Amino acid sequence: MTNKSKLSFKDFKEGQIFSFGKIKISYSDIIDYAQKFDPQFFHLDKNLAKESIFGELVASGWHTASVSMRLFVEACGNIDGGMIGKEVKSIKWPRPVYPDDVLSIKCRVKESKICKSKPELALVKMTNTTYNQKGEIVMTADIVMFISSKYSYF
Amino acid sequence: MTNKSKLSFKDFKEGQIFSFGKIKISYSDIIDYAQKFDPQFFHLDKNLAKESIFGELVASGWHTASVSMRLFVEACGNIDGGMIGKEVKSIKWPRPVYPDDVLSIKCRVKESKICKSKPELALVKMTNTTYNQKGEIVMTADIVMFISSKYSYF
């Protein structure tokens, strides 16, 4: 499934995989995000970060989550009405993201059904896995979202 | 518990509440975040957003999560070694964040224990609730993190 094509509810079938990459996270990207949203020393200062549990400067996990959202939108967000986040069942960060890491995503549809109470919407459950340039997993997220169901009837 | 004081593991007792506010999210903050991380029309364009499920421009849920992380750091991040995110068990966004909403946070310790395998670290589970200026909940997050346990011995 290419990320270029316009998608509809019927494309979000169980087992379907969408993917997108690559986005590079630079040193200054990490600092910029951390200054705004997660000003802890191991995200802000490469010298102080040497004394941290990470041993070097790393991106905030919420920065990784934000970049993963961008990758997710690029992978399968081209759908009328957009993707409406309902909740996240789980986020895990098995390893950090370092300056100049290049991230990509695989998004797998776990379940997809039309809402009984609001049949114009479909509830879609996905597992999104974010990888670094070595193919190592840096984040997994179990996402629940709404998308429009109306195009499923054509 | 004020957010000004230096904290240690012994402050993260079950039932302890840390709080912080306020951070205002402006219209341009919403656009800036969305351009980088969640470029969907209802986060980017107030005219197009009228046609969305929200009926108006709203912040990305991941922007709300990012601002909540900032509030969390301000509330209880003043601890040697910092707060190391392990995983998130749940995120819910019961209502959107709109331009000029003013957010605050309450962070409640659910569980806190020294790691058996790494006694220099403590595992802390918290439920963080983010509110708007009306006292309405805009996000809840069940967080699992590591903090240093070493200061608990003094």
Residue A57 to residue B81: CA distance in whole angstroms: 13
Lowest mean pLDDT of A3-17, A68-82, B48-62, B69-83, name the range. A3-17
ipTM above 0.90, yes or no: yes
Confidence tier at B56 by pLDDT (50, 70, 90) = very high
Q: Can you tell me which residue has the tokens 């390893």? A: A95
Domains of chain B: 9-153 (3.10.129.10)
pLDDT digit string (tens) for A30-50? 999 999 999 999 999 999 999
Confidence tier at B150 by pLDDT (50, 70, 90) = confident
Confidence tier at A153 by pLDDT (50, 70, 90) = very low
Question: CA nearest A40 in B: which residue?
Answer: B82
Give the pLDDT mean for B89-96: 97
Per-residue pLDDT, B153 = 45
Contact B106, B71 (CB under 8 A): no
Give the pLDDT mean for B135-142: 98
Question: CA nearest A67 in B: which residue?
Answer: B37
Per-residue pLDDT, B127 = 98
Query: Which residues in chain A are contacts of B41 at CB distance < 8 A?
Result: 82
Q: Which of B3, B30, B78, B87 to mutate to test the interface with A (most CBs of A within 10 A)?
A: B87
pTM higher than the cut 0.90: yes
Residue B84 to residue B22: CA distance in whole angstroms: 23
Lowest mean pLDDT of A78-87, A89-98, A143-152, name the range. A143-152
User: Is the pLDDT at A78 greater than 90, yes or no?
Assistant: yes
Contacts of A19 (CB under 8 A, 6+ apart): A1, A3, A75, A104, A105, A106, A107
Question: CA nearest A88 in B: which residue?
Answer: B91
Query: Which residues in chain B are contacts of A86 at CB distance < 8 A?
Result: 92-93
Across the interface, of A70, A84, A88, the residue whose CB is closest to B88 is A88
